[in-house]
C-alpha cells in the first residue's frame, strides 16, 4: 500500500529534465449545503498539518473527521470500555513513547517461558504474533506466479505482461532519478562553493547577482526546488534518496524473479502448516515503519504532549506482523485474521492489498469467520488510482462485484486536506461498488520507529482513521454489533455534491458521490451520534 515518492517527483522530472537544467443532530450536509462551505484559501499552519484529519469541515473548512469536536462536545469526560484493535501490518515499535501504554498484552501467556500457556497455538505471544519471522523484503504476487511456471493459471499471461510493464517503468524511474540527482548535486556543490558554506538559505540564493552561467543554472534549479515547497536542496536530495531507495527495492526485491524472501520454513500452499513465525512483533529494521505509523493513527496516546494524537482514547493495539516489503502471503493474512478474532480483537485494521491472490478463498473464509464472530474489518482501498469495480483488489468480501459474504468489512479511500475539487487524493482507488467511504489519508502525521514522527500518505493512513472511529463507537456503545458499527459509520458520513478530480488527472472530473458506495466522507461526530441513537433504540 505504499504511496511511492515518484508520484511526488513526477513533477520534478518535467521541471528539472526539461525546464532548467451523545446529544446532537446528525449533519447530513453541513449548514444547509456542504458545497456552500467556504474553501480554505490559506495554507495549513504547522499545527493544522499535524492533525488536519481530526478537524471539522464546517468549523475549520478542512475535510477532517471531526474527531476533536467529538471529544469536546460528545465524549467529554465519559469513560468507555477497553477495545482491542488488531493491526495486521509490518512490525510495530511497541516500545514507542506514544504507543507503549496502548499495546495489548496477552495476560493468559507467561512471557518468555517457551510454552504455549493459553493453548492458542502460539508460543509466548505476549503482544501478538509475527508470521514473517526475520524476513522483510518480498516479491510481488504476480512475480511469484511467473516464477511458479504455472501456465495453466488464467492470469499467467496477464502477469507476464504486467511484469514487463512494471520492470521497464521502474528502470525508467531509476534513470530519471539518477539524472535528477546528478543535476541537484552539481547545483548544490556550486552554491556551496559560492557561499563558502554548506547551510545557505533560500533568501541568500534569491539575492545572488551573477553572469556566471554555471551559477545561474544552479540558482534556477534551486528556485524551482523551492517552488515545490522544499526548504532546501539538501531536503530535496533526501526526498530523491528516499525515492531511489524505494525504486531499488522494487527492482532488487519486489520484481526480482530470483529473490527468495520467505525464511519461515513453512509450506505457503498448506493452510494447516501453522507452526511457523515467532512472537517478536517489532520491526526488523528502522525503515520498517508502516505498521508503527498506522498504529499511531488509531491509538497514539491523546493529549500527552508528545507528537501525535490517535483517534481512539480507550484502545489496545494487538500487533500482528504479516505484511512484508512486497506482497503479503494469503496464508499469513488468513491466519492473522483468525488469530485476531480468536484472541479478542473487536476491530481489525488492514492497510495492505494486492491485485493477485492465489488463495483468496482462504482470506475470504477468514473474513467471514471475523464477521460471524462480531469483528469489524477495515481495509485500505489501495493507491493505484484505479476503479476497483473493474480492477482486481485483494482482500475483498465479494467475488466479481457480487454479493458480500459478510456485512462487517469497510473499504476506505483517501482524502487530501484541501476541501474542493482536489480533495480526493490523486493516488486513491475508488469504486461505486467496492469502496465504501473516504477518510483523511494524505500527509498524515503519526508515530515512526524509535520515538520519531513523520508525515506519510496513502489509503493505508485513511483506513486506521476509520478503525479508530469504530473503536470509539465500540468503546462507548459496546452493545452494538460489528455490522451496526459499520452501519453507523457509513450512514452518518457527509454526502458531498461537489465534483472532484479523480486519479490526479485534471481532465477526469466526476461527482464525488460516484466514487464510493455511500458517496460520503467519514464523520466521527455524526457516527457517534447515530451510534448513540441505535444503542438507545435497542434498549
The CATH H-level superfamily of 51-138+268-538 is Peptidase S8/S53 domain (3.40.50.200)
- For residues 384 and 391, the answer to whether their CB atoms sit within 8 Å is yes
pLDDT at 7: 39
pLDDT at 30 over 70: no
pLDDT at 38: 61
pLDDT at 507 over 50: yes
User: What's the whole-number mean pLDDT along residues 220-234?
Assistant: 90
In this prediction, residue 415 has a pLDDT band, given cuts at 50, 70 and 90, of: very high
- For residues 347 and 85, the answer to whether their CB atoms sit within 8 Å is yes
Cα–Cα distance between 12 and 26 in angstroms, integer? 44
pLDDT at 11 over 90: no
- For residues 350 and 360, the answer to whether their CB atoms sit within 8 Å is no
Asked which of 15-29, 44-58, 61-75, 318-332 is least confident by mean pLDDT, the reply is: 15-29
In this prediction, residue 37 has a pLDDT band, given cuts at 50, 70 and 90, of: low
Tell me the pLDDT tens digit for each residue of 75-123.
999 999 999 999 999 999 999 999 999 999 999 999 999 999 999 999 9
Tell me the pLDDT tens digit for each residue of 361-379.
999 999 999 999 999 999 9
- Rg of the chain on CA atoms, in Å: 24
What ranges do the domains of the chain cover?
1-21+140-260, 51-138+268-538
User: What's the whole-number mean pLDDT along residues 512-516?
Assistant: 97
User: What's the whole-number mean pLDDT along residues 162-181?
Assistant: 94
- Quote the crossing angle between the two packed helices 233-249 and 213-227, to the nearest 10°: 70
Cα–Cα distance between 156 and 142 in angstroms, integer? 8
Q: Residues with Cβ < 8 Å from 254, sequence gap 6 or more?
A: 137, 138, 139, 140, 143, 325, 326, 327
- For residues 148 and 356, the answer to whether their CB atoms sit within 8 Å is no
pLDDT at 22 over 90: no
pLDDT at 18 over 50: no
Residue entry with cell 446532537: 24
User: What's the whole-number mean pLDDT along residues 135-144?
Assistant: 98
pLDDT at 228: 86
pLDDT at 15 over 60: no
DSSP E strands in 15-112: the ranges are 83-89
Cα–Cα distance between 439 and 421 in angstroms, integer? 15
% pLDDT > 70, the chain: 92
pLDDT at 34 over 50: no
Cα–Cα distance between 30 and 466 in angstroms, integer? 20
**Of residues 435, 465, 425, the one with CA closest to residue 66:** 465
Helix (H) or strand (E) holding 530: helix 524-538
User: What's the whole-number mean pLDDT along residues 146-169?
Assistant: 97
pLDDT at 12 over 80: no
pLDDT at 510: 95
Mean of pLDDT over the chain: 92
pLDDT at 32: 36
pLDDT at 36: 55
Q: In terms of pLDDT, which residue wins out, 140 or 237?
A: 140
Whether cis (ω within 30° of 0) applies to the bond prior to 404 is no
pLDDT at 10: 47
User: What's the whole-number mean pLDDT along residues 434-446?
Assistant: 98
Tell me if the pTM is above 0.75: yes
User: What's the whole-number mean pLDDT along residues 453-482?
Assistant: 97
User: What's the whole-number mean pLDDT along residues 261-285?
Assistant: 97
Tell me the pLDDT tens digit for each residue of 202-226.
999 999 999 999 999 999 999 999 9
pLDDT at 75: 96
Amino acid at each position: 500500500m505504499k504511496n511511492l515518492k515518484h508520484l511526488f517527483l513526477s513533477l520534478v522530472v518535467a521541471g528539472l529534465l526539461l525546464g532548467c537544467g451523545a446529544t446532537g443532530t446528525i449533519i447530513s450536509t453541513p449548514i444547509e449545503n456542504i458545497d456552500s462551505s467556504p474553501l480554505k484559501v490559506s495554507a495549513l499552519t504547522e499545527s493544522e498539518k499535524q492533525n488536519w484529519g481530526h478537524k471539522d469541515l464546517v468549523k475549520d473548512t478542512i475535510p477532517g473527521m471531526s474527531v476533536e469536536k467529538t471529544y469536546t462536545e460528545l465524549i467529554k469526560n465519559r469513560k468507555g470500555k477497553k477495545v482491542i484493535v488488531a493491526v495486521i501490518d509490518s512490525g510495530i515499535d511497541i516500545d514507542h513513547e506514544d504507543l507503549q501504554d496502548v499495546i495489548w498484552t496477552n495476560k493468559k501467556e507467561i512471557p518468555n517461558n517457551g510454552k504455549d500457556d493459553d493453548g492458542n497455538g502460539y508460543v509466548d505471544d505476549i503482544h501478538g504474533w509475527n508470521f514473517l519471522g526475520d524476513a522483510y523484503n518480498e516479491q510481488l504476487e504476480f512475480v511469484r506466479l511467473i516464477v511458479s511456471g504455472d501456465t495453466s493459471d488464467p492470469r499467467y499471461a496477464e502477469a507476464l505482461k504486467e511484469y514487463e510493464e512494471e520492470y521497464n517503468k521502474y528502470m525508467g524511474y531509476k534513470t530519471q532519478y539518477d539524472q535528477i540527482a546528478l543535476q541537484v548535486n552539481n547545483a548544490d556543490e556550486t552554491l556551496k562553493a559560492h557561499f563558502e558554506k554548506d547551510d545557505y538559505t533560500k533568501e541568500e540564493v534569491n539575492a545572488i547577482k551573477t553572469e556566471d552561467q554555471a551559477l545561474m543554472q544552479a540558482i534556477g534549479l534551486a528556485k524551482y526546488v523551492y517552488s515545490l515547497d522544499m526548504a532546501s536542496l539538501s531536503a530535496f536530495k533526501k526526498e530523491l534518496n528516499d525515492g531511489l531507495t524505494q525504486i531499488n527495492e522494487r527492482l532488487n526485491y519486489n520484481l526480482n524473479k530470483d529473490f527468495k524472501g520467505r525464511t519461515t520454513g513453512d509450506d505457503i500452499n498448506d493452510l494447516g502448516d501453522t507452526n511457523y513465525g515467532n512472537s517478536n512483533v517489532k520491526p526488523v529494521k528502522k525503515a520498517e515503519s508502516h505498521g508503527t505509523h498506522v498504529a499511531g493513527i488509531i491509538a497514539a496516546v491523546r493529549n500527552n504532549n508528545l507528537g501525535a494524537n490517535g483517534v481512539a482514547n480507550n484502545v489496545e493495539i494487538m500487533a500482528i506482523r504479516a505484511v512484508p516489503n512486497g506482497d503479503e502471503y494469503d496464508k499469513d493474512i488468513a491466519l492473522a485474521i483468525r488469530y485476531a478474532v480468536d484472541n479478542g480483537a473487536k476491530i481489525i485494521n488492514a492497510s495492505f492489498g494486492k491485485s493477485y491472490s492465489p488463495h483468496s478463498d482462504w482470506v475470504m473464509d477468514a473474513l467471514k469467520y471475523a464477521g460471524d464472530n462480531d469483528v469489524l474489518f477495515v481495509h485500505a482501498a489501495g493507491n493505484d488510482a484505479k476503479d476497483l469495480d473493474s480492477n482486481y483488489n485483494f482482500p475483498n468480501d465479494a467475488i466479481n462485484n457480487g454479493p458480500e459474504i459478510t456485512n462487517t468489512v469497510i473499504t476506505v479511500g483517501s482524502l487530501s486536506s484541501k476541501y474542493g475539487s482536489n480533495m480526493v487524493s490523486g493516488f486513491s482507488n475508488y469504486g461505486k461498488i467496492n469502496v465504501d467511504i473516504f477518510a483523511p489519508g494524505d500527509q498524515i502525521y503519526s508515530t515512526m520507529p524509535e520515538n520519531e514522527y513523520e508525515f506519510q500518505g496513502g489509503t493505508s493512513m485513511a483506513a486506521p482513521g476509520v478503525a479508530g472511529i469504530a473503536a470509539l463507537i465500540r468503546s462507548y456503545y459496546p452493545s452494538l454489533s460489528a455490522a451496526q458499527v459499520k452501519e453507523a459509520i457509513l450512514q452518518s458520513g457527509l454526502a458531498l455534491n461537489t465534483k472532484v478530480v479523480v486519479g490526479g488527472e485534471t481532465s477526469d472530473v466526476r461527482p464525488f458521490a460516484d466514487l464510493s458506495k455511500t458517496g460520503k466522507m467519514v464523520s466521527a461526530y455524526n457516527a457517534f451520534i447515530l451510534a448513540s441513537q441505535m444503542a438507545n433504540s435497542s434498549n
